[in-house]
Amino acid sequence: MSAAVPRYLDYAATTPVDPAVAAAMSGCLTAGGDFANPSSTHAPGMRAAARIEAARAQVAALLGAAPDEIVFTSGATESDNLGVLGVARANADRGRHVVSARTEHKAVLDPCKRLEKEGFSVTYLSPSRSGVIEPEAFAAALRPDTVLASIMYVNNEIGVLQDVAALGALCRERGIAFHSDCAQAAGKVPLDVHALPVDFVSVTAHKLYGPKGVGALYVRRGAKGLLQPLLYGGGQERSLRPGTLATHQIVGFGVACEIAARELPREAPRLTALRERLWQSLSELGGVHLNGAGAPRVPGILNVSFEAVEGESLVSGLTGLAVSTGAACNSATPDPSYVLRALGRDTQLAQSSLRFSLGRFSTESDVEFAAEAVRVEVRRLRALSPAGGAGGQDFGAWQGGGGATLVRGEAGGPGQETWVRFHLAVAGDTVKEARFQAFGCPHTIDTATWLCGELRGRSRAALIPGTPASWAARRGVPAEKLGRLLVVEDALRACLQAWAPRR
């Protein structure tokens, strides 16, 4: 495969649309297809409505639901909002307490934060170190005024499965509505909502080879009265989600569910084998932590943290791979994964995590390529790190040649987001050679590399060439990372302290 086309191992973020799904969708778009408004009573509209009902049955079959229990939405985020906000607000007269978990998707956590602004109280449970919400802790959090609990079935970052049967049973015996985000479970593990004590379940099409922009909320028969809509303006979807239905997206969703149900018995063991093969290859590096170890996990997700490696630098070096440092919706932030922090990982390990997610089109070749690429990059970054360790460089014996003496200076340190150490070979009042070690983001490493070239030939009095602000402008460092360049400057100032002036 060309280096310009990375191996795709980010199926938990989104999946490519299956060709059969795309073909079905195309039949609902143009004048020759079933494009009409399904709310219309003429023949074209009725044909579109029939396609939607067929898709509703396909989605229901994957979940073990009845077709009339499926409410179409724009995706799992809307389904989660409807399930959390809609239930809590509809039952506020009975109680204003909600239970969830610190490791939930933002599509659940943010609605919970909204409810807190509306006068609700929310208990956010912490998982065990393996990522599991213990039933005992869950039961202890339930109160007489609890009206809703929301716990996801499969965690989107670490792939851990929760015991929704046990948690839901605790709610049902107390008359508490139970919602579960199953976006990462549907089509990946067997799911029978009628066999589980769940009232509301959120799913989305784009996690199972359907189109983006469509999902569903399962609403258990008898639970509709516990739910109020978020939107108004039509009677579609049992008046719970009004608006003209997107026939092409819903039809694609249905076909994707039908394929997923058919492929699940073969796909789950295949992906489990690929996941374990990848883990075995990565674990040989040493200093590698499996996030979610000891808990049941979905077949296709592997989340790993690497010691002595900065996560952003690791990902930027894996140009031949499409992987994630966490949930896709959070990957743009420099903050460490809140899910991994909730598991007890320290900041550095949380920042150095990679989520590999395998899918329908993943192959053994992809796994082998990924394992080798990660091994090479981890070893390179560890050799560069001041933490040293296996493969670390030995600067102790380096003198730069020509009778020079070695001057060292560093700033930052273990446990901090940036740690830089410079090694200067100096002769008299002149820098003959400069090298560095760094644990930091790609901009930190790039700036330190450039500075080593600038330092050669400089005197002690003029050692530091410019300021962090000027370095940032020259090297294209974003303003939010200027603080990391201050650490680089501090390391150079430490060299000045260690470099005794000529007498």
The CA distance from 281 to 300, in Å, is 16
Superfamily of domain 7-12+265-384: Aspartate Aminotransferase, domain 1 (3.90.1150.10)
The pLDDT value recorded for residue 400 is 52
DSSP conformation letters of 206-266: TTTTS-TT-EEEEE-TT-GGG---S--SS-TGGGTS-S---HHHHHHHHHHHHHHHHHHHH
The pLDDT value recorded for residue 397 is 53
What is the CB neighbour count within 10 angstroms for residue 89? 18
Q: Which CATH architecture has domain 405-498?
A: Alpha-Beta Complex (3.90)
- Res. 502 pLDDT band, cuts 50 70 90: low
Helix (H, G, I), strand (E, B) or coil at 412: strand
b/e 181-191 (16+ beta carbons within 10 angstroms → b): bbbbbbbbbeb
Q: Read off the DSSP letter of residue 458.
A: -
Helix (H, G, I), strand (E, B) or coil at 202: strand
The answer to whether 9 and 321 are in contact (CB under 8 A) is yes
Q: What is the mean pLDDT of the chain?
A: 92
The answer to whether 144 and 175 are in contact (CB under 8 A) is no
Domain ranges of the chain: 7-12+265-384, 19-260, 405-498
> At 317, phi and psi to the nearest 5?
-85, -15
> At 388, phi and psi to the nearest 5?
65, -125
pLDDT in tens, 426-443: 998 999 999 999 999 999
The answer to whether 236 and 39 are in contact (CB under 8 A) is yes
The C-alpha torsion from 390 through 447 and 346 to 494, rounded to 10°, is 80
Query: Where does residue 340 rank: exposed (0-12), middle (13-18), buried (19+ CB within 10 A)?
Result: buried
Question: Which pTM value belongs to this model?
Answer: 0.90
Helix (H, G, I), strand (E, B) or coil at 466: coil
Q: Show which residues are catalytic.
A: 329
The CA distance from 35 to 48, in Å, is 7
> At 259, phi and psi to the nearest 5?
-65, -45
The CA distance from 180 to 178, in Å, is 7
Q: Is the pLDDT of residue 329 over 90?
A: no
pLDDT in tens, 4-24: 689 999 999 999 999 999 999
CA 9 distance to own-chain centroid? 12
- Res. 398 pLDDT band, cuts 50 70 90: low
Q: Read off the DSSP letter of residue 499.
A: S
Helix (H, G, I), strand (E, B) or coil at 467: coil
The pLDDT value recorded for residue 347 is 76
The C-alpha torsion from 478 through 483 and 485 to 489, rounded to 10°, is 160
Residue with tokens 């109280």, as numbered in its chain: 121
Helix (H, G, I), strand (E, B) or coil at 166: helix
Q: Is the pLDDT of residue 402 over 80?
A: no
What's the Rg (C-alpha) of the chain?
27
What order of strands is seen across the sheet that includes strand 288-290?
Answer: 288-290, 301-306, 353-357
Pick the more confident residue, 158 or 503: 158
CATH of 19-260, one of 3.40.50.1820, 3.40.50.720, 3.40.640.10, 3.90.550.10: 3.40.640.10
The pLDDT value recorded for residue 320 is 94
